[in-house]
Structure formats: C-alpha cells, structure tokens
Structure 1
Amino acid sequence: MHDRAEFDFVTGRGIADPEAQIDVGSVARIGSRLAAWRDVLNIYYYPLDLSSPAALFDVGRLSVHDVASIRIGVLHSDPMTVRRHPTHIRRHSDDFFMMPISASGSLSLSQRGRECEVRPGDLAFIGTGDPYVYVQPTRNSVAAIRLPADMVRSRIPWIDDMTARQCPGEQPLVRVFQDFLRSMIRNSAALSDAEAEFLRRSLFDLLALALTVPGDAAFDETSVRFAHRQRILHFIEEHVCDRDLSSSAIARRLGLSPRYIQRIFAERGETLTEIIRRRRVAEAQQLLRSRSLANRSVEQVCYSVGFQDPAYFSRVFRQETGMSPGEYRRQHAEPAA
C-alpha cells in the first residue's frame, strides 16, 4: 500500500498526506527546541547529535513519507550541524545512505577524510556506517532521502567509495535521477508492491549512472567504459579477500588490458589499487566490529581480507579511518547482547 505524495525538491514544498508531520515549535519551549529537533531526527532517521550557531533555534519542521523502503523527509529548519559518532553507530545496527537535496543554500558533507559542497540540485550522500559531519549554515528546506544500504550495495557495490563526493546538478543524468525519483513519489499511490520494487531497482540503476558517467563525455563511449567499470567492481566485490587480486589478474579474467583498466579509473582520479585497498579496509571494519569475531587477532583480520603485511595493513587502515585497527575495534565493537 503506497500513499500519494506530492514533493518538489526545488521549492522544498512538503509532502501531501505524510506519515509523520512534526513542528518542534508546537511541542517545545524555545530553549529546548534544538533538543526536541534532535530527538525527532533520532526517531525518524537514526541516532545523531545536533548543534546550531543560531542564538535561538526556533524553526524545525519535518514531513516524512516512505515509498518502497525509501524514506523521504522534508526538513525545514534553522542552521544546524549534524554529527554521527562511533557511539551512535554502535547503538544503531541499521545501515543507510543519506542523500540531502537542498532547496536554496549550500550544504557541506564530510566523511572518511573527504568533504564536498552540496548546492541546490546537486547529488551527494553519506553513509551511516561511518562517522560523518553535515553542515547546514542557513535556514533551509532540505529533502532528506534515506536509502537502505544493503539494497543499494546489491546494485552498486562501489557505493561506499562515493560518499561525500559532489555530482553537479548540471549533469543530465543527475537531473534524470531526480526527475525519476519525483515521479516515483508522485505516482506511489497507484503502484503495486511488485511495481514499486521494480522501480526501486531502476532508481538505483539510475543512481549508479549519475554517480559514474561524466556529464561532459560522449555517452556511447562512456557507457561502454561504465559497463566495464561495473564488471570490474563486481569482480572486486566477489574476490576482495583473495590475496592474488590485482590489476593483471582482473584484466586476465575479464579479457581487458591493464592499460585500459587504468584509464577507466584514471578518468575519475582513481586507481584500481586504491579501490581494492578501500574495499579491503571496509571489509576489515566489518570484521573488527563483529562481536562473534572478537577473539580474532588484528593480524588474522589482516590476512582474511587479502592483505599480506600486517604493518602495511595497519598503516593503510589508519589512513582510511583515522585510527589503528585496534582503536577501531575498541570504539566500534558490537555491544554484548
């Protein structure tokens, strides 16, 4: 069952017939409205901390609606800074990608050592499985799109490498993705569950194109490279823990030349080695968080995710996460049942 929703990313108009509609001004005194706003976002999204440069945080309104497991919220609020800490991640096991689309002023996102500006119409997102900072410097209306991480990763395995990166709104495929999402929301009432599921998969495919295909390239040539990049990334996903995984091994298995593979990733300022390394670190993070694997040593984790040198593993892990594997385990270990 899908209720009809009317939504406009550009003007920030709210959602018709929302499943939840909250105005903190009606439920809290001025001095406690920021805390009330934080509690609302904790309930309808996930645990986080809030601060605000405003002398008085006075405005906080939220309309929420769910369509095919995608949560769409319209937030109209005073300036705020959102921080997601390791303690929040330990308390909340669900994993999402959060995509804010601004109606007017710019926002900023910071995660995993990356930072990007999000202008009105731009596409960018963060993952809730790692700490992040979201800064909204002015009173603004923001569409906050929450996507289930496992569903997105099943369609876009490399999505974690794209957090806190800007896809400009001028790019045609970014506009196509947002138009498709608007249409999906507006027509949700008429969709069966099977139709909604099909459209969700199509939405994630469009998201993959918007994130991957440069807007200024010839589409025919770029689409071929995009298809090869998908094949490479799927292969990495399936073999990320193999110690022999390398550009030459991938080239041999997929029938591509190493030089061509290098060119595919160089177009985005990446290298295949970096992609493999980040995926192995992400795999190690999952193992280090697991309570059932608490007896496994850091060295064993290193070897199990494809690294061959524990010292190199620790150095790379610190570069990616800002802490050693041991520190990460102590801060992120799942609590006892």
Structure 2
Amino acid sequence: MAGSSLWRFAVSPSANPALHLSTADLPPTQRRDWLHHVIGREYARVDITPPAQAELFNEMTIYPWQELRLSAIRSSSIGLYCPPCEPETASQDAYFAVVLLHGRYRLQQDGRAAELQAGDIALYDATRPHRIECPEPFAKLLVSVPRQLLQQRLAGVEHCSAVRIPGSGGLGAVTSDFLRSAARQADCIDTARFSPLAGQALDLLALTLSALRPGRFELADHRAQALSCIKRLIEARLADPELDSAAIAGAAGLSPRYINALFNAENTSLMRYVWQHRLQRCAEKLRSKHHAGRSLTEIALRWGFNDMSHFSRAFKRRYGCSPSDYRHMRG
C-alpha cells in the first residue's frame, strides 16, 4: 500500500510522547460512537457516515508539536460533516492543514471544494461547517494550528479554505515533503529536537497559503516585524522569572503601551501571552517521559513560575485539570 511505511511509528517505541487511538480493539457495533466522541474531543464535532460495505476502521497518532499538533491518520472509507457550532475546547478552535498520503479525499467548505491527490495539501476551519468525503480507505496527515496563531501570521487566511494546493511542485511540494518527512521521523527524534520543527512547519504553511489570498490582503509589515521580534525576545527569556512588561519593553526599545496594542490585535495582552507560553512549556515537560522524574515544582520554577498556587490555578484554567492529573493522563 502506498505510504504504508508511515504507519510503522504506530507500533514502534517513540522518542516523542504521542497519543495513539484506534478502533481496532472495539467491537464493530461500538466503533461509530467511539469515533464520534474521539473526533469531537480532539478535532471537531462531526456527524459520521460509516462505510456501507465494510467495517468502520480508524486509527490516529497525535504528536504535540509546540503550539501545533501533528496527527497521522488512516481510515476506512468515511464521510464527515461538521454542522455550525461553537468550539468547546482549544483543540477545536483551530485551522487544520491536510496532507493526503493515499486514497481519495474531497473537502468542502465556504462554497469551495478541493479534490486531493496523494501529496496535495488543503486547509479548513474546524469551527465552520465543512464536509469531508472519502469513498475508499485513505491515509493523511493533519496539522492543527490554533486559529489565533495562523490569523496573526496570515491576514485573510479565511479565504484559503478548501483550495487544493498541489504537492507535485513549487511551495506545495516543499511543504508537503517537509510535513511527510517530519511524520516519518517523529518517533526517531527526541522531543527537544522535534519540537522546533513546528516553527518551520508553520512558516512553510503560511508562505504556501499566502499565495491563495485575494490581492487586497497585505500585512502591515512594520507592525508584523515588531511583533515577531518581541515574540522572539520573549521566547529567549521565557524561563526568566524577572521577565515582565517593563523588561520586555526595555529590551525591545518600545513602550509597553505600543507593545500591548500589537498584542491587542491578536485578542491578548503582552503578559497573558507570556503566561500562556510558560504554561505551554510546562505542559510539554509534563507530557515528556524524559522529565518524568522532575517534580511539579521543578518544572514550574524552570519556566518562570515562582508561586506554585498561581501556577496550579493558571494551569487548571488553561488545561481543565491540575498539573498532576495532566501528567497522569498523558503518561
């Protein structure tokens, strides 16, 4: 089967923490309800049309990838329809970039339809109505990108949904090859080295998608560059407990008011952005087997939290459970 080598990671030891989910161990009568629940929890709330002439089968392996998630999915033929709905979880408030590995795949959204061939890419908005039709067994990669993150990188991204990006040449080929290679090597590269590839994946996706926008969408370059510079500065000093708005403004040579105005355009504030990214780093370490021996306090202190009660409250607000429960669920 074309692309079958990609699925070897599903049964091999992994250098990265991954969530493996499959219908294989369930009786056929329970598979549809189980899959409905899992897709709703991890991706989007959908109605499922199972295959007419075969048993429903679906398996997925989900890798946390900094702010992104990389999923490798293979399935029997299936139909999915997402009705109008509001996102209930952070995982649902996202754009999904599809890379088809093999099979037939039709994506419909916003009055557009994309018929994908192996290697092709398409984007869709998980929060808006969409329909996916796969009339035969298929395999795909799915890159989940938080809505806010992609919107800040690409003005007019809402005009890019359900448009086929050929994987046979140009930027589409570069991006498709990169994502497929990352998925093949995900179990061979440890988390510390695999995670930074997420930034390159996002850069490639944004660059590739930018060609699909109407010509009137142009980013305000000076503001975008200033914001990018500030975020790099924050990333470099994220573990510093003394990092506050004054320190960031001084290092960037800009006023705190101007910096907050830049972040306000993304519906957040400077320090909220800092705390969210610190929580994200802590969550990554709690998922990692390499940090299983470290205490919650060590991890929190490592990423700039010096008040454990504040850390626990903030973590529970962001992830819906305590840090210790999160570690046990993902372990």
Settle same-fold status: TM greater than 0.5.
yes
Tell me the distance in 1 between the aligned counterparts of 2:66 and 2:128: 25
- 1:167 partner amino acid: I
Aligned match of 1:42? 40
Residues 9 and 176 (structure 1 numbering): CA distance in 2 closer, same or farther, change over 3 Å?
A: farther
Structure 1 partner of 2:19: 20
1:11, CA displacement in angstroms?
A: 4.9
The total of aligned residue pairs comes to: 214
In 1, Cα distance between equivalents of 2:215 and 2:38: 40
- How big is the shift at 1:196? 4.0
- 1:155-189 Cα shifts (integer Å, max 9, x gaps): 11221110000111112211211233345553784
Q: Matched residues in 2 for 1:61 and 1:190: separation?
A: 23
SS in structure 2 at match of 1:103 = strand
Going from structure 1 to structure 2, the CA distance change for 1:107 and 1:200 (only over 3 Å counts) comes to same
Contact 1:10 1:121 in 2 (8 A): no
C-alpha separation in 1, matches of 2:218 and 2:42: 33
Any residues of structure 2 matched to 1:61-140 within 5 Å, and which?
A: 61-87=59-85, 89=86, 91-92=88-89, 94-140=92-138
Shift of 1:13: 2.1
Gaps of 5+ in 2: 224-266, 268-331
1:10 to partner: Cα distance: 7.5
The 5 Å alignment of 1:137-156 reads 137-156=135-154
How far apart are the structure 1 equivalents of 2:64 and 2:87? 25
CA apart distance, 1:122: 0.5
Match of 2:164 in 1: 166
User: 47, 50, 53: which is aligned to 2:51?
Assistant: 53
Change (3 A) 1:180 1:78: closer
d(CA) in 2 for partners of 1:123 and 1:171? 12
Q: Which aligned runs of 4 or more in structure 1 are off by greater than 6 angstroms?
A: none
Q: Is the 8 A contact 1:47 1:92 kept in 2?
A: no
Does the C-alpha gap of structure 1 residues 48 and 176 become closer, same or farther in structure 2, counting only changes over 3 Å?
Answer: same
Amino acid across the alignment from 1:37: L
Query: Would the aligned equivalents of 2:96 and 2:123 in 1 still touch at CA under 8 Å?
Result: yes
Aligned partner of residue 138 in structure 1, secondary structure: coil
- Change beyond 3 A, Cα 1:11–1:54: farther
* CA spacing shift, 1:46–1:9, aligned 2, 3 Å: farther
For 1:26, what is the secondary structure of its paired residue? coil
> Match for 2:201 among 200, 203, 209?
203
> Residue 234 in 1 paired to residue 222 in 2?
no
CA 1:165–1:14: 2 relative to 1, 3 Å = farther
- 3-state SS in 2 of match to 1:142: strand
Query: Is the Cα contact below 8 Å between 1:107 and 1:119 reproduced in 2?
Result: yes
1:291-302 paired onto structure 2 within 5 Å: none
CA distance in 1, matches of 2:137, 2:182: 28
Contact 2:123 2:163 in 1 (8 A): yes
The verdict on how the C-alpha distance between 1:57 and 1:191 changes in structure 2, with shifts beyond 3 A counting, is closer
What does 1:274-289 align with in structure 2 at a 5 Å threshold?
none
Distance 1:190 1:90, change over 3 A: closer
Match of 2:327 in 1: none
Query: Mapping of 1:310-329 within 5 angstroms?
Result: none
Alpha-carbon RMSD across the aligned residues, in angstroms, is 3.3
**Percentage of pairs with the same residue:** 19
Q: Is the 8 A contact 1:102 1:141 kept in 2?
A: yes
Identify unmatched segments of 5+ residues in structure 1. 1-7, 215-225, 239-285, 287-337
- Structure-2 separation of matches of 1:128 and 1:50: 15
- Alignment TM-score, normalising by the size of structure 2: 0.56
Are 1:101 and 1:121, in contact at CA under 8 Å, matched by a contact in 2?
yes
Contact 1:11-1:103 within 8 A present in 2 as well: no
Deviates more, 1:164-173 or 1:66-75: 66-75
CA distance in 2, matches of 1:65, 1:202: 16
**TM-score, normalised to structure 1's length?**
0.55
